[in-house]
């Protein structure tokens, strides 16, 4: 999708691509609610694109009795590790920091910490991935370089929004945080008539807006559009 102001500035030209091909629409207002899950935070290590490596998790049963490595230390990594362990995989969790994040949900945290403590799930803290090979992950941790067997690797390292979509429409984006400039009440950006809804408003700080608070954005945007039309 691409959105650009029309020459007279009163409309947007919105170009979309679907199975039927490209389509051009005209609109007075545009609301971008594109989230961030399409763009995983890559490790940028050799082997990241091998077929047994994924930034997305679907289901655990293909990993029954197989060695699996999960990379990350937040909610997704903890939940995926627990589910794979309970489905019969041999799980190792690799995290670059020295402990799991404090943001892991309070009912998940004791579960994962106790599974690590009892040795049901192996954990390598303070450990970074250097390379992914077929059947193994090469890591560097407090004891130096090591190889961990892995027939599947889940990189649960988060996601980030793609700012190019709104930058093309003239929306200013903070290069550090990827947060688009917007009014927090109306959710209108610096481009009049161009709005943002949902998690995309927070840029890289993806934990700030979720379903429970993002669901009010639609109402605020409609109110702002109605106000603008009434002048
Ligand atoms: C495992 C898991 C559990 C979660 N549990 C909870 C929970 O319990 N409570 C909670 O509040 N939140 C939860 N969340 C977070 C929640 O899913 C997100 O905060 C929420 O989905 C964000 O909604 P959104 O509409 O901003 O983006 P999304 O839901 O990601 O929707 C964006 C949509 O835009 C589409 N899109 C992207 N780019 C384009 C483009 N260029 N053109 C056209 N379409 C595009 C995408 O395909 C997608 O359909 C969970 C997330 C995960 C992964």
111-142, pLDDT tens digit by residue? 999 999 999 999 999 999 999 999 999 999 99
CA of 10 to the centre of ligand 1 (A): 30
Judged against a pLDDT cut of 80, whether residue 9 lies above it is answered with no
CA-CA distance, 41 to 177, in Å (whole number)? 14
Q: What is the mean pLDDT of residues 152-179?
A: 92
Cα-Cα-Cα-Cα torsion 219, 220, 226, 230, nearest 10 degrees, comes to: 150
pLDDT at 3: 78
Q: What is the mean pLDDT of residues 20-43?
A: 93
CATH of 2-37+160-230, one of 2.60.40.10, 2.102.10.10, 3.10.350.10, 3.50.50.60: 3.50.50.60
Split at pLDDT 50, 70, 90, the class of 180 is: very high
CA-CA distance, 134 to 149, in Å (whole number)? 9
pLDDT at 10: 72
Closest ligand 1 atom to Cα of 165: 41
pLDDT by residue (tens digit) across 214-230? 999 999 999 999 999 88
Q: What is the pTM of this model?
A: 0.88
Closest ligand 1 atom to Cα of 37: 30
Same CATH fold, 53-155 and 2-37+160-230?
yes
- What are the structural domain ranges in the chain? 2-37+160-230, 53-155
CA-CA distance, 201 to 163, in Å (whole number)? 10
User: Of residues 20 and 182, which shows the higher confidence score?
Assistant: 182
Q: How many helices (H) and strands (E) would you count in the chain?
A: 5, 13
Architecture in CATH for domain 53-155:
3-Layer(bba) Sandwich (3.50)
The three-state (H, E, C) secondary structure of 46-86, written as one string: CCCCCCCEECCCCCCHHHCCCEEEEECCCHHHHHHHHHHHH
| Mean per-residue pLDDT of the chain | 94
Give the number of other Cβ atoms within 10 Å of residue 111's Cβ. 16
**Two structure tokens written together for 97:** 């920091």
Lowest mean pLDDT: which of 28-42, 157-171, 216-230?
Answer: 157-171
Judged against a pLDDT cut of 90, whether residue 2 lies above it is answered with no
User: Of residues 121 and 15, which shows the higher confidence score?
Assistant: 121
216 lines ligand 1 (CB under 6 A): no
User: Of residues 12 and 87, which shows the higher confidence score?
Assistant: 87
Split at pLDDT 50, 70, 90, the class of 91 is: very high
pLDDT at 207: 85
pLDDT at 117: 98
Q: What is the mean pLDDT of residues 79-97?
A: 98
CA-CA distance, 48 to 138, in Å (whole number)? 12
Q: What is the mean pLDDT of residues 142-170?
A: 93
User: Ligand 1 pocket test: which of 211, 213, 218 has the largest number of ligand atoms within 8 Å of its C-beta?
Assistant: 211
């Amino acid at each position: 999708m691409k959105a650009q102001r029309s020459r007279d500035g009163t409309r947007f030209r919105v170009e979309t691509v679907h199975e039927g091909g490209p389509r051009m629409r005209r609109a007075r207002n545009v609301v971008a609610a594109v989230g961030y899950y399409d763009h995983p935070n890559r490790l940028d290590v050799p082997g990241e694109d091998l077929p047994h490596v994924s930034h997305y998790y679907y289901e655990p049963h293909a990993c029954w009795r197989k060695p699996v490595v999960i990379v990350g230390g937040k909610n997704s990594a903890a939940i995926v590790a627990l589910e794979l362990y309970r489905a019969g995989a041999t799980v190792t969790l690799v995290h670059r920091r020295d402990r799991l994040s404090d943001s892991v949900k309070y009912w998940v945290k004791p579960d994962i910490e106790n599974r690590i403590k009892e040795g049901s799930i192996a954990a390598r803290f303070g450990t970074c991935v250097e390379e992914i090979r077929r059947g193994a992950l090469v890591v560097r941790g407090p004891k130096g370089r090591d190889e961990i067997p892995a027939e599947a690797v889940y990189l649960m390292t988060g996601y980030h929004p793609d700012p190019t979509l709104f930058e093309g429409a003239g929306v200013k984006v903070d290069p550090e945080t990827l947060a688009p400039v917007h009014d927090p009440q109306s959710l209108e950006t610096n481009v009049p008539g161009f709005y943002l809804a949902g998690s995309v408003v927070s840029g890289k700080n993806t934990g700030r807006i979720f379903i429970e608070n993002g669901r009010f954005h639609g109402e605020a945007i409609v109110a702002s559009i109605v106000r603008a039309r009434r002048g």
